[in-house]
Amino acid sequence: MRYIEGIHRKSKIAFPEYIDDYITEDNPVRIIDAFVETLDIGEIGFKNAVPKKKGRPGYNPKDLLKLYLYGYMNKITSSRKLEKQAQTNIELMWLLRRLTPDDRSICEFRKNNKNAINQVFKHFVSLLNEWDLFGKEVVAVDGSKFRACNSKKNNFNTKTLNRKIKYLEEKIQKYMEEMEENDRNELKTHKPTKEEIQARIKELKERKKKYEEYKEEIEKSDIKEISTTDPESRLMAVNNNGIDVCYNVQTVVDSKHKLVVDCDVINNPTDHGMLSKMAGNAKEIFDVED
């Protein structure tokens, strides 16, 4: 039996003359390209919509937006991975016309244009509405939990902070007693030195102070918990009967072509009150009466 064999790497082959020949007419990247080219990025609010007259030229925001949309269409959200894809992916070579932005440029673009990118979604929905792709009769509204960039160990409420503060107070007291015992016993060699214990006590006190500041912040505000890495995320029940630090993403989908009409991100673990709000948003987008 034989295997299917590839060609020799040094074989001469005739590639298509144009990179466009590699991209089929129904390839989704053509939609991304056509849609972004219709946008007035200055009116939408993108930074650097007008190129600088002096200094080193930057990337066109339209090109970075195309890369951003391609990444989310293909579940590639890392700036470093998008940089790599731009260098190796034939679809992106076509879409970006062989531009290869570095990960820092990609990251800065996202960070500086959050509101503008949100407006792009609204422009796309308006375009779908103009093309009569929404049935405007039946929509589905639901919430989904998406894990935040914040671990559970970096999420605190009053109860957990009280527990951690108490634990640290006990540890500090234990080290203080150990240091006193070492002083009495003239520091036997197998025990920690006084300096080591003092350093450990200092570290514990700093942690205790940090937790006390978190607790004070909770008590002075109307929030019930703090997430230190992703501040707006909250603990929520998830599908596996556990809990995780998440966001609650509300989505409205039209039944005609299963297209998203509207979406919102909240940090409330329940969907209470969101059905009427999201349905109202859909009616406003569709411009229909009650």
Boundary of a domain, candidates 227, 243, 265: 227
Percent of the chain with pLDDT over 70: 94
Number of structural domains in the chain: 3
Q: Is there a domain that residue 8 lies in?
A: no
144 pLDDT above the threshold of 60: yes
Do 169 and 63 lie in a common domain? Answer: no
**Would you say residue 2 lies in a domain?**
no
**Same domain membership, residue 25 and residue 125:** yes
The alpha-carbon radius of gyration of the chain (Å, integer) is: 28
Q: What is the pTM of this model?
A: 0.72
Residue 216: Cβ-neighbour burial (10 angstroms; 0-12, 13-18, 19+): exposed
Q: Which domain holds residue 27?
A: 19-130
Alpha-carbon distance of 205 to 213, in angstroms, equals 12
63 lies in the same domain as 119: yes
Which of residues 130, 162, 188 is at a domain's end? 130
Confidence label for 185 from pLDDT (cuts 50, 70 and 90): low
What pLDDT does 262 receive? Answer: 94
Which carries the bigger pLDDT value, residue 29 or residue 202? 29
Q: In terms of domains, do 86 and 170 share one?
A: no
42 and 23 both lie in a single domain: yes
Instruction: State whether 114 and 144 are in the same domain.
Output: no
Token pair belonging to 144: 């989904």
Q: Is residue 26 part of a domain?
A: yes
Is 266 found in the same domain as 172?
no
Residue 246 lies in a domain: yes
Is the pLDDT at 238 greater than 80? The verdict is yes
DSSP-based three-state secondary structure for 260? strand
Q: Are 42 and 158 in the same domain? A: no
Residues 251 and 209 in one domain: no
When mean pLDDT is compared across 51-65, 96-110, 169-183, 252-266, the lowest value belongs to: 169-183
49-53 mean pLDDT: 85
Residue 91 forms part of a structural domain: yes
Per-residue pLDDT tens over the stretch 59-77:
999 999 999 999 999 999 8
pLDDT higher than threshold 60 for residue 188: no
Q: Is residue 5 part of a domain?
A: no
What pLDDT score was predicted for residue 190?
58
Report pLDDT for 218. Answer: 86
Please check whether residues 45 and 118 belong to one and the same domain: yes
Q: Which residue has the higher pLDDT, 239 or 125?
A: 125
86, part of any domain: yes
- Residue 11 included in any domain: no
Judge whether 79 and 106 are in contact, CB under 8 Å.
yes
DSSP line for 183-224: HHTT--TTSPPHHHHHHHHHHHHHHHHHHHHHHHHHHHSS-S
Residues 214 and 257 in one domain: no
Of 186, 209, 227, the one marking the end of a domain is 227
Are residues 120 and 252 located together in one domain of the fold? no
